[in-house]
């Protein structure tokens, strides 16, 4: 294995290999999140699909690497890692910050994938044209942890453990720096279908900010609203899996009908 191949493999975790599946779902974690967040989803979707979960630098087994502080730098690494998967039909699924990364990766790769990007699913993220002035990344450590508690993204017991907090703070701050400094650069709309999943009480995404994603695709668009807040998918796992299966089927049927070419 070459050094470049080894570097690309650092970005991808394959918890339940399914080489005979018809589609690969690439999962993009939220700010402060890691690939293992999607391990339960991987187990539920296999063998219907093979799930690849991205592991950003600065967390878990990549903790010794510096976390990246810009969306562009993260997308650079992701695109390079995913080129090994470019021959397979792909669906991108990103939650929160991961939704922005999935969108920007789709923009970067759609042409070279030549129809193999079947669809994009963005969860818990407002549209690129609905920015808010936020500065969570400038808060002290206690302020960062308070934000995570507010969104209910990590077990309170874990956040009470000082060793755990010291471990997650650098990556968490880097992720918030990246996503809060992100500025959308206008360009062509995507050719693939786009789905937006959102919680009905998510303080991070209003209904109009979810529907505003419609302008970023020339293909079909749909918003799915679930009961819950920013991390609704932790409580609505069965509904999310059912929605993903339904949307994957629709994406595949679109390609089979010739509409995706």
Residues identified as active-site: 96
Closest CA to 130 of 102, 100, 105, 98: 100
Q: In a 3-state reduction of DSSP, which class is residue 103?
A: helix
Handedness of CA 28, 29, 31, 32 (dihedral sign): negative
Task: Give me 108's structure tokens.
Answer: 């970067």
Do 129 and 100 contact (CB within 8 A), yes or no? no
Gap between the Cα atoms of 6 and 128, Å rounded:
33
Q: In a 3-state reduction of DSSP, which class is residue 35?
A: helix
Q: Which residue bears the tokens 């999140």?
A: 33
Angle at 24 between CA 240 and CA 245, to 5 degrees: 30
């Amino acid at each position: 294995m070459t050094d470049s191949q080894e570097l690309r493999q650092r970005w991808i975790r394959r918890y339940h290999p399914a080489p005979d599946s018809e589609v690969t779902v690439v999962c993009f974690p939220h700010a402060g999140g890691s690939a293992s967040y999607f391990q339960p989803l991987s187990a539920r979707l296999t063998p219907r699909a093979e799930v690849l979960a991205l592991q950003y630098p600065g967390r878990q087994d990549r903790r010794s690497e510096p976390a990246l502080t810009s969306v562009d730098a993260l997308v650079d690494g992701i695109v390079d890692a995913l080129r090994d998967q470019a021959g397979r039909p792909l669906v991108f699924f990103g939650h929160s910050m991961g939704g922005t990364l999935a969108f920007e990766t789709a923009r970067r790769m759609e042409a070279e994938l030549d129809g193999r990007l079947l669809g994009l699913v963005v969860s818990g993220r407002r549209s690129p044209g609905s920015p808010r002035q936020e500065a969570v990344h400038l808060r002290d450590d206690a302020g960062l942890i308070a934000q995570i508690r507010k969104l209910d993204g990590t077990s309170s017991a874990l956040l009470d453990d000082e060793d755990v907090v010291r471990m997650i703070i650098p990556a968490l701050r880097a992720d918030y720096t990246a996503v809060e400094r992100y500025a959308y650069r206008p360009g062509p709309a995507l050719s693939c279908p786009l789905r937006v999943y959102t919680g009905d009480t998510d303080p991070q995404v209003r209904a109009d900010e979810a529907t505003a994603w419609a302008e970023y695709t020339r293909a079909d668009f749909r918003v799915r609203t679930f009961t819950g807040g920013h991390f609704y998918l932790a409580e609505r796992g069965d509904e999310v899996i059912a929605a993903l299966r339904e949307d994957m089927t629709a994406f595949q049927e679109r390609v089979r009908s010739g509409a995706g070419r």
